[in-house]
Amino acid sequence: MRIFNLCLLFSWTCIFTLSAFGSETPGHKEQNMTKSSSVEFALVGGGCFWCTEAVFEKIEGVLDVVSGYAGGALLNPTYKDICTGQSGHAEVIQIKFSADIISFAEILEVFGKAHDPTTLNRQGADVGTQYRSTVMFYNENQEKIARHWKENLSNQFVDPVVTEIVPAPKFYPAEEYHQDYYAKNPNQGYCSFVIRPKLKKLGLED
């Protein structure tokens, strides 16, 4: 009788346990998938990455911004390599954002205001192919949105928009001292005379 009761207790325990897992676990998985699916990445370059990084770090919905290099043939490029203008890479930022808060189209809208898309291989005093205007798309949807954005943007300028739209190549994060540069060096000359006025113009800083 004791053995029968123990077996009966074990059976009911198993049924309860399986039922509990069956009702809760998929819900948790679905919730986690929903959360992760809302996180997307964008890869853009618009001149010195100190500038574009500083802008996007202040945009709601942006989760992280990493300065780096992309678009050249040289493996593991350094800032010294980039500065020669011969490596083929552009200074870019990889933007991690919540698509529930800000869309890729809105990311590009900010990007268009954060730099001059009509100057070829140049942003202000920064001259060279490493400073080219570029949108590097991660999928077909981003490509479609980027081309539509460029077409609309072209209607706002007299000069042609020269922003290249290309598939995202391998991204190389820049050296640590480049990351969060404006936040760490707000009084440095470039930050004071180039980045801060840009942020004020965009209404991102008083």
**7, part of any domain:** no
User: Backbone dihedral region of 89: left (phi > 0), alpha (psi from -120 to 50 degrees) or beta?
Assistant: beta
**CATH number of residue 189's parent domain:** 3.30.1060.10
Residues of the chain with pLDDT under 50: 1-36
**16, part of any domain:** no
Containing structural domain, residue 170:
36-201
**50, part of any domain:** yes
End-to-end alpha carbon distance in the chain: 80
**67, part of any domain:** yes
The pLDDT value given to residue 206: 87
Give the Cα separation of 150 and 148 in Å (integer). Answer: 5
How many domains would you assign to the chain?
Answer: 1
Give the Cα separation of 39 and 54 in Å (integer). Answer: 20
Chain position carrying tokens 């990007």: 111
Cα-based distances in Å from 123 to 44, 62, 85, 131, 159:
14, 24, 14, 7, 15
The pLDDT value given to residue 37: 64
**125-158 confidence digits (pLDDT tens):** 999 999 999 999 999 999 999 999 999 999 999 9
Q: Which of the following is catalytic: 7, 14, 48, 191?
A: 48
**26, part of any domain:** no
* Closest C-alpha to 109, from 179, 42, 190: 42
**206, part of any domain:** no
**139, part of any domain:** yes
**161, part of any domain:** yes
48 has catalytic annotation: yes
